[in-house]
Structure 1
Amino acid sequence: MSVTIDIAGLPPERIVFAPSPLAELGATLHVLAEPGHHPGAHGWATATNAALKPDLADRLCEADFLWRTAFSDILMGFAGLRDASVQPAATLAEDLDLLDKLDDEQFVTAALEFTCATGYAEQATLSPLSDPVVRKRTLELAAARGPQQRRFTERLLEDPPTVRAWVRRLFEDCEQAFFADTWHRVRGQLAADARAKTDLLRRRGLAATLEAVSPALSTDEHGSVIEVDKLTSAWTTAVSPAVGAGVTFIPSVHQWPHLSVLHRYGWRPVVHYPVAGREVLSGPLSVEQFTLRMEALSHPMRMRMCRSLARGPYTTSELADLNAVSSPEISRHLAVLKKAGLITSRRRGRYVQYQLDVQVVARLGSDFLETVLR
């Protein structure tokens, strides 16, 4: 399984390495929301969360689905603009200006990635802003995610400009509260990494550059595709004349163990990769329990389920729809994972949601954790 980016005929100068303040802010917000994904950042996350003013902390909770379960494409809004020369900006304000250039349709479908009926990699033919059937389905999916996401979705569908202004103000307040200092600390490292990768691409070519970015990246002998080794299958193109040819690689200090790929239909692809070293995970585990857990993970379906459950809570029916299998089959796999102590469950109204216990999985090894969170 992999995400394939078609780059056949793409000029080398259209392969761009550039840091992004907005993308890095999104990575820090994910660390604050899911410190279990980033064991080495517990100290920073704890201190930063403790220093947040209550009003800002509450507002972050209202919109945390934009960065908690997955990395929302609005955090790389430049890729949706119909101008291939547009790349991430030097400041957060300038990155937010680029985000403001997206029309309401683009912003809404990107922000509601998990609550819009249209497939992520498919062309949107109907919009929740104008089609009542799609709108109803979007609200139903949002409700299954919880009351906060439903309220946010209702507000966004009712008045996109007001919510967009609210989101921008939220990011600006984050900059004032903690991100200005964070960006000042990491921007030099990110700029240096981008320059080094650009120079490597010029001197040694694409294959060597991709290997330096991540062992999960590769190309074919003709340099016509970029393959991203992930527990999912998808395809996108970097040579669409409709949106402009190009692919952007964004380095991040706060991204590990995630390797994210923006492959939304109608947007230029983006690879968001970590530059920091792997974090060390340790802790004793009995041979019996280790064997039980490894046997639970030996089935490919359970591996795919782990990838989803690592990003957020899912119900049995949601997992069944996502994997195109029956609910009873998903229930059997969930039972095996639960017996091995790899997942947790909680009841939300009439729904039972399951989620991967990332800290438990981390004890199996950083390679496995990196793979399911890639």
Structure 2
Amino acid sequence: MSLSIDITALPDGHLHFTPSPLAELSAMLHVLGEPGHHPGLHGWVASTAASIAPELSERLSEADFLWRSSRADFLVPGLPGATLADELDAVDRIDDELYVRAAVMMSCGTSRLSHRRDSPLADPVAQERARELALARGPRQADFTDRLFADPPAVRALVRRMLEDCGEAFFTQAWQRVLPDLAADARHKADLLARHGAEEALAAVSPSVALEERADGRRRIVVDKLQDNATRAAAGGVTFIPTAFGYPHLLVVHAAGWRPVVQYPIPEGGLPEPVSLAVMQQRLEALAHPVRLRLARTMARGPHTTGELAAAWHLSAPEVSRHLAVLRRAGLLTTRRRGRYMLYQLDLTSSARLGSDLLEAVLR
């Protein structure tokens, strides 16, 4: 499964790397709303949540569906500004139709209205459907949707004021701390793009992002995600926004009417490279076979030759070799030679990370 961005007619220079205050604020709000996704930030979550005034905390709770499971597209700017105020001004210039559609997608569930083209403001049928979906998700979403349809400017003003209050409460201090690292990462990616081209720059963004170049000349950015979707980059290009609060997520804005944006976590020391969902599936399927699971348990205790494994489990050597090949392709074995024999052992590091790798892959 993947999400692709067609960049066939786009010069490499139209891939832009830059930090965004609003995107980083929305990443922080997601961390506060879903701390279980970000165990490495529990200390920040605890201290920040304790510092937020109860009144602001209540307002954030009422609107957290805008950034909790995913994020409203207007919270991840395609053209980042220098300050949070600049980016909020740009959001104010978005027409009501586009803003309301993005907000309603969050209150109704991102997957259930994504295919609809009816205007949520002008079409009564689309409004009623949106209300039904919002009510099914909870009273807060239903109330927000009703108020948004009744008076879009008032709701937009409330959301902006809430984000501005977050700036004063906790964002400004955190932003000043992380901005140097974000800016340095963006400069590094831009330098890779200029010197070595899009393929190397995209590979540096994440192992889950790749450039696909077809024989017919078509080019597209392919992102490992839990949905199959496609979009096309317009003349303006594609924006890549580094974040210090995003790991393990790889957020992509791809809805019609919005410039494609990829928000990616900057590298952190000590964290392993992310594993793709395809690799995770391969590893789980490799271990799901009862014979391979027995062999894995044996090799977890120490290195074994093919003959030793065959004797231990009353299997033929060719049969053991076939199972070992599956485990090796899945990256679950290490090997070393002893004379004319090859010794196989379970890779305890990759095996120990199966649970966390799976969680990160599905959260990506």
Scaled to the shorter chain, the TM-score interval is 0.7 to 0.9
Q: Distance in 2 between matches of 1:233 and 1:226?
A: 13
Task: Provide the identity percentage.
Answer: 54
Structure 2 residue aligned with 1:183: 175
TM-score of the aligned structures, taking structure 2 as reference length: 0.74
Deviation >4 Å, runs of 4+: 116-123, 278-281
Tell me by how many angstroms 1:120 deviates. Answer: 6.1
Residue in structure 1 matching 2:266, options 267, 270, 275: 275
Q: Distance in 1 between matches of 2:116 and 2:129?
A: 17
Structure 1 residue aligned with 2:226: 231
Tell me by how many angstroms 1:366 deviates. Answer: 2.7
Q: Distance in 1 between matches of 2:68 and 2:133?
A: 17
The one-letter code of the counterpart of 2:357 is D
Q: Distance in 1 between matches of 2:111 and 2:244?
A: 32
Q: Distance in 2 between matches of 1:280 and 1:226?
A: 24
Structure 1 residue aligned with 2:355: 365
Structure 2 residue aligned with 1:90: 82
SS in 2 for 1:106: helix
Q: Which runs of 5+ in 2 are unaligned?
A: 273-283, 289-351
Tell me by how many angstroms 1:276 deviates. Answer: 3.8
Q: Which runs of 5+ in 1 are unaligned?
A: 80-86, 282-293, 299-361
Structure 1 residue aligned with 2:98: 106
SS in 1 for 2:71: coil
SS in 1 for 2:259: coil
Rate the CA distance shift 1:28–1:279 in 2: closer, same or farther, 3 A: farther
SS in 1 for 2:189: helix
Rate the CA distance shift 1:40–1:102 in 2: closer, same or farther, 3 A: same
Tell me by how many angstroms 1:364 deviates. Answer: 4.5
Structure 2 residue aligned with 1:312: none
The one-letter code of the counterpart of 1:17 is F
Q: Distance in 1 between matches of 2:354 and 2:150?
A: 45
Aligned pairs for 1:213-292 within 5 A: 213-221=205-213, 224-239=219-234, 244-277=235-268
TM-score of the aligned structures, taking structure 1 as reference length: 0.72
SS in 1 for 2:255: coil
Q: Distance in 1 between matches of 2:68 and 2:270?
A: 20
Q: Deviations over 1:313-345 (max 9, x none)?
A: xxxxxxxxxxxxxxxxxxxxxxxxxxxxxxxxx
Q: CA RMSD in A?
A: 2.3
Q: Distance in 2 between matches of 1:178 and 1:117?
A: 28
Larger radius of gyration: 2
Rate the CA distance shift 1:157–1:121 in 2: closer, same or farther, 3 A: closer
Q: Distance in 2 between matches of 1:194 and 1:272?
A: 11
